[in-house]
Amino acid sequence: MSVLPKRAATWLPALLLSVAVLGQVGADAADGKDLAGDTTIRLSTSAHEPVTPIPVSVVLDSGKVALGHALFFDRRLSGDNTRSCAGCHQLPPLKASRPLEGMSTLQGDPPRSVPLLYNSGVLFWYNWDGRYRTLEEVISGAVTQPDKLATTWKALLARVEADYATRFAALYGQGLTVEQVTDVLAEFLRSLNTPNARFDRFLRGESNVLSADEASGYALFKEIGCSSCHSGVALGGNFFERFYIYDHAGEESEPRLQDQGRYYLTQDESDRNVFRVPSLRNVAHSAPYFHDGSAPDLEEAVEEMGEHQLGLVLTEEQRRLLVVFLQTLSADHQGVKP
Amino acid sequence: MKRMLMPTIAGAATLVLLSFLYYQAQRVDEINAGQASVLNLLQKAQNQENRIRSSAIQVHYERLHNFDHMLEDKRALRASVAAMQGERFEIFRDASTGVAHYINRLRNLVDERDELLLRFMRSVVLVKNAVSGMAYGLEKEALVDAEPELLDLIARFRNTLLAYSSNPTTPLSEQSEVLLEELEAALYELDDSPLYQPLMYRLQHGQVIFVERARIDQLLRQILRIGIPEHIDRIMSSYLAYHEQQEHVSSHYRMGLYVTGSLLLVFLIGTLIRLRFTARHLLSEKEMAQVTLRSIGDGVITTDLNCCITFMNPVAEKLTGVTMDAARGQSLTSVMALYSEITRKPVEDPARRCLESGSVIELTQHIYLPRDDGNHHLALTAAPIGGGEHKNLGAVLVIQDEGENRVLAEQLTYQSSHDSLTGLLNRLTFGERVQSLLLHPDPKNLPMLWHIDLDHFSVINDICGSKGGDIFLRQVSEKLKGLLSKHDLLSRVGGDEFAILRQCSEPADALNMACQLREAINEMRFEWDGDVFDISATIGVVLINQDYCDLSEVFMAAKSAVDSAREDGRNNICIHNKDKRDNSRKHELSLWVPRIKRALEEGRYRLYLQSIAPVGAHGYARPTHAEVLLRMEENGKIIPPIFIPAAEEYNLMPQIDRWVVSQVCAYIAKAQEEGAEAKDFSFSVNLSGTSVSDTFFLDFIRHTFAEFDTPTEQICFEITETAAIHNLQSAVVFIEAVRAMGCQFALDDFGSGMSSFAYLKSLPVDYLKIDGAFVKEMANDPVQHGIVEAINWVGRTLGMQTIAEFVENDAIVACLGEIGVDFAQGYGIDQPLAWDEYFRLRAEAVAATEHPQTASGAVTE
């Protein structure tokens, strides 16, 4: 009996409210503001730089990070209970002044260098062939791929449910799902940024942080066109480029060109030998270089890049300056232990 | 049922409609609520797309580029499209198929554009790096030794391709192509030259510029041509159109909702009012029903389906002794345990029985409810409540306390069929039984009726009062009951009359039973207040056969048999013989009754005297004794005592006797006053049997004697032998009492009836009057003579004087003299004369004796 007036009482405000919201939206649109509430502020200092510093703060859910942390080191994530994510992706402590050695190993078929996962949250493409666009996709792919965790989501959830159900329930209000496991692992990876490289400080305005050589190296980096590809916040990881643009006689049979890269994915002729431009963040820690680990040190990598990607023969001084500059991209990190 | 169905269906339909409308309106609400975010999202996507486009163009023209912004926008746009496909915008997608379709298309376009962007970025970077490489890469030292022509070629190549890279016009393109070929050709000649490698790079830079620069514009055109903004616009306009339509529809729904809601409201209010009205009505109905149930005299109990009590009215409460509040919810049997009168065991719960059988159960007989104050007989009706097409709701029990009703009814039945005093069947019921025998005669059976009349009951009633009489009658009935066989019926058919009916009897029973009855009654002695009464009865027997048409005839026959028996003296038995004569005699007698009564009232009785003369060896002497005889004077005529049987029959004799006694006493007193001869004379006065057994009569005599100062020696009472024997005990008592007063006593008509010498012993009489029948013929008949002689002898032996009656001539006198009979009486001596006349003649005779010439020769001294 009282349904009608009551409903009318709720409709009317709702109607008025929606009208008001629409009016507001119209006004906002007229002001030219970002309708999505996208609060990214583009720093004017880096507006003319090809590189953007890593954001100093990231909004994270500590509960999810903790859960992701636990899962990252859980061997039961793999089909045979032997390998955790950390089994391949070590998260060693980083010290800018002391580059790690031999961190990158080759995995998979074709064998490709396993990247360090620091700063993976700022990338736009993942894997050497750009198979994934988001961290969630990466994680999802890693679970099922036979050369990675080699299991199924159903089996994985069944293995870990007993231990994690209550913690997930506390976070999400319900038991384990694929989305939740992916979410916490992605959140954990997003927590692995290393924002305080000297170069970032430079970009943020500390102009005297870089030495003269380093500054010269950066200038050279921009001048000869390295920054054309290694741009953005990760100095790479944002688009694709062909390996060996500029080749010379006798190098068609080069073994490293056997890996057709993105072609495997797209079956497009123009994608032969095309790879994702790798990020140069902490590049000093990730020798040996290239997708196949064929360049043992930075100097050689720089030389080959100049030769094959830019069509330039770099002088020894140029190479030194570039290496010096690249070392400013290293940051400290205490590492992550299980 | 049908009346219920329609509102239910209507209500349900309204509710369904209402919920449908409500659901639709709710949906519209949701769509409205989602509208803002949908529009927001679409606007955002549009902005993102715009930024991507401007970023792409910007990247193209900037020397130092940073893809991050574009990539972020790209990612955001993908997220926006994903959001459009996500759960949150389901309603929005469902709004119209066009929207979902456009979103899918949009997603494909975004993917397509992303690929184009990737290629675009690649080409832009390639061109940029090639341009900078071409500008930067060739060492001057390497060109020192070069041919001027080559240098010129290199310069032209460089300038042309750089110009081409910034402005890819067709002429420049053609020039570039030519120069590329020229440079390539030149390189063949520089195979081993140190210029080879730098120039090879230069050539390759040029090739990259040439190839990629053309692609850049093409890709940019493609990118800008991809209709993402148009699609977003289309989605938006499609959505807005849909939304407008929804708004329109929603107004209808909402209107419908209001209208239906109002209708429902009206319906509900109406229903409530009706319900309230009905409730009030039902309440008053219930009140009425309760009051009615409270008011009715029967106990009413209702139970539910489990036979647990739900209601009791006050009568039922009183009956069971349990209040309704206490009984509610209890099982019926625990509150009211009923028992069968026959088995004395509890009966099955009638409520359960009626519920199980679904029919009405009636327990009207042989049911009782044991209670502290005795067993209450109940009549109970149990009926299921509901039934028929409805399901049973319970049972109702209606209980009548038969206790009072039945006792009353039984009492009435009993009283109407039984005599209240003795508890025997009354005349009416007894008569009905007899009547039924008459109506359904059975030749095999011989029904027989004994009619018992108690003798002298009125005497007991007078002496002992009605209370004593009642007790006496009860004793008699008890006595009689003891004699009956199982199938005999005993009834009190009148005040002192009993009757016994035996349906199946032997002919010999008639007398045997009668004798048994009489003996039993005779054995009885009724004591009251110190007085002891001997009891006798007169019994008439009737054999009920086809001769009797109806009940009254049977009773009349019985009565007449009793009368006949009584005629023969009381304590007698008569078996009725159906005879017209008897009836006519009775009728004849009955004619006398009014005459006798009137004569008494008018004093028209006359006393006559007949001498009783002493008999000697030589004739009779002068009499000093006479018998008082009674005559009636009617219309101047003197009527001989033919009315006596009638007076006896109709119980008038005691009155007549009293009149006679008092008259005699009065005459004697008168004679003494006058000094007349009568004073030395004695008179024999006849008394009827009735008077003798009437104890008041004795008092009357005493009283009369005292009143007239009567010389009792002058009075001699006479009773007939039959009367004496009928009432032997009372006769003896009477005789002794009278003799104690000084009177004499004579036994009249001795030898006429069932005379037995044995009786004589117990009768203390002075005179024995020999029946005239013997005397009349004794002169001629030696047997009669012998009898007279024998009687005379017995009388003498017993110390009695004898008187012979009917002495009609001198021969008899002579015979009597011989035998030695003391006195003689009869026409041979004198005829009866009126009292005064008798003494006048006697006076004359005395005078004649004194003067011998006048004396009669027959009279000798």
Residue A39 clears pLDDT 70, i.e. is over it: no
Query: Which chain B residues are within 8 Å of A203, Cβ to Cβ?
Result: none
Q: How confident is the model at residue A125 (pLDDT cuts 50, 70, 90)?
A: very high
Find the mean pLDDT for residues B826-849. Answer: 85
C-alpha span between B703 and B662 (Å, rounded) = 10
CB contact under 8 A, B66 and A51: yes
C-alpha span between B359 and B383 (Å, rounded) = 6
Residues with Cβ < 8 Å from B338, sequence gap 6 or more? Answer: B346, B347, B350, B363, B367, B368, B369, B378, B380
Name the more confident of B109 and B857.
Answer: B109
CB contact under 8 A, B68 and A238: yes
Query: Which chain B residues are within 8 Å of A314, Cβ to Cβ?
Result: none
Pick B126's closest partner by Cβ from A50, A232, A245. Answer: A245
Rg, C-alpha atoms of chain B: 76
Query: Which chain B residues are within 8 Å of A31, Cβ to Cβ?
Result: none
CA nearest A266: which of A248, A240, A287?
Answer: A240
Highest mean pLDDT among A139-143, B96-100, B302-306, B315-319: A139-143
Residues with Cβ < 8 Å from B779, sequence gap 6 or more? Answer: B785, B809, B811, B812, B814, B815
Query: Which chain B residues are within 8 Å of A310, Cβ to Cβ?
Result: 129, 132-133, 137
From A175-184, A195-204, B464-473, the region with the lowest mean pLDDT: B464-473
C-alpha span between B29 and A15 (Å, rounded) = 8
Strand partners, B370: B375
User: A46 and chain B: CB distance < 8 Å anywhere?
Assistant: yes
What pLDDT shows up at residue B582? 53
C-alpha span between B802 and B717 (Å, rounded) = 14
Q: How far is B76 from chain A (nearest CA, A)?
A: 9
CB contact under 8 A, B22 and A7: yes
pLDDT 10s digits, B544-589: 877 777 777 788 888 888 887 777 777 778 777 665 445 556 667 7
C-alpha span between B234 and B98 (Å, rounded) = 9
Query: Interior CA angle at B463 toward B686 and B723, to 5°?
Result: 25
pLDDT 10s digits, A207-249: 889 999 999 999 999 988 899 999 999 999 888 998 888 876 5
> Would you state the structure tokens that stand for residue B351, as one six-digit string?
């409520």
Query: Which chain A residues are within 8 Å of B128, Cβ to Cβ?
Result: 225, 228
pLDDT 10s digits, B468-508: 888 888 888 888 888 888 888 888 888 788 888 888 777 77
> Would you state the structure tokens that stand for residue B673, as one six-digit string?
């006053």
Q: How far is B368 from chain A (nearest CA, A)?
A: 58
Chain A nearest-CA residue for B31: A18
User: Is A159 in contact with A81 (CB distance < 8 Å)?
Assistant: yes
User: A176 and chain B: CB distance < 8 Å anywhere?
Assistant: no
Helices B228-295 + A3-31 axis angle, to 10: 160
Q: What ipTM does this complex have?
A: 0.82
Instruction: Tell me the H-state helices in B421-579.
Output: 427-439, 457-481, 509-523, 551-567
User: Is B122 in contact with A240 (CB distance < 8 Å)?
Assistant: yes
Q: How far lies B476's CA from each of B326, B331, B533, in Å?
A: 56, 55, 13
- β-strand pairing of B619-620 with B625-634: unpaired
Strand partners, A112: A107
Query: Which chain A residues are within 8 Å of B35, Cβ to Cβ?
Result: 18, 22
CB pairs under 8 A between A and B: 139
Q: How far is A75 from chain B (nearest CA, A)?
A: 32
User: Is B209 in contact with B161 (CB distance < 8 Å)?
Assistant: yes
Q: Give exposure, A32-54, as e/b (b: 16+ Cβ within 10 Å).
A: eeebbeeeeeeeeebeebbbbbb
The percent of residues in chain A predicted with pLDDT above 90, rounded, is: 40
Highest mean pLDDT among A185-189, B487-491, B698-702, B716-720: A185-189
| Residues, chain A | 338
Residues with Cβ < 8 Å from B321, sequence gap 6 or more? Answer: B371
User: A224 and chain B: CB distance < 8 Å anywhere?
Assistant: yes
Count CB atoms within 10 A of the CB of residue B490.
21
> Would you state the structure tokens that stand for residue A12, as one six-digit string?
């009317």
Chain B nearest-CA residue for A235: B66
CB contact under 8 A, A1 and B205: no
CB contact under 8 A, B133 and A309: no
Helix H or strand E segment including B620 = strand B619-620
CB contact under 8 A, A48 and B130: no
Chain B nearest-CA residue for A51: B66
Residue A125 one-letter amino acid:
W
CB contact under 8 A, A50 and B66: yes
Q: How far is B68 from chain A (nearest CA, A)?
A: 5
Residue A62 clears pLDDT 70, i.e. is over it: yes
Pick B75's closest partner by Cβ from A52, A124, A240. Answer: A124
Highest mean pLDDT among B5-9, B242-246, B393-397, B679-683: B393-397
User: A25 and chain B: CB distance < 8 Å anywhere?
Assistant: yes
Query: Which chain A residues are within 8 Å of B254, Cβ to Cβ?
Result: 11
User: A144 and chain B: CB distance < 8 Å anywhere?
Assistant: no
Q: How confident is the model at residue B112 (pLDDT cuts 50, 70, 90)?
A: very high
Chain B nearest-CA residue for A275: B122
DSSP secondary structure, A163-212, as one string: HHHHHHHHHHSS---HHHHHHHHHHHHHT---TT-HHHHHHTT-TTSS-H
User: A246 and chain B: CB distance < 8 Å anywhere?
Assistant: yes
CA nearest A164: which of A177, A153, A152?
Answer: A177
The percent of residues in chain B predicted with pLDDT above 90, rounded, is: 7
* Residue carrying structure tokens 């002298």: B456
User: A263 and chain B: CB distance < 8 Å anywhere?
Assistant: no
Find the mean pLDDT for residues A98-124. Answer: 87
What pTM value is reported for the model? 0.50
What pLDDT shows up at residue B195? 79
What pLDDT shows up at residue A338? 84
The percent of residues in chain B predicted with pLDDT above 70, rounded, is: 91
Query: Can you say how many angstroms the Cα of residue B531 is from the centroid of all Cα atoms in its chain?
Result: 54
CB contact under 8 A, A14 and B33: yes
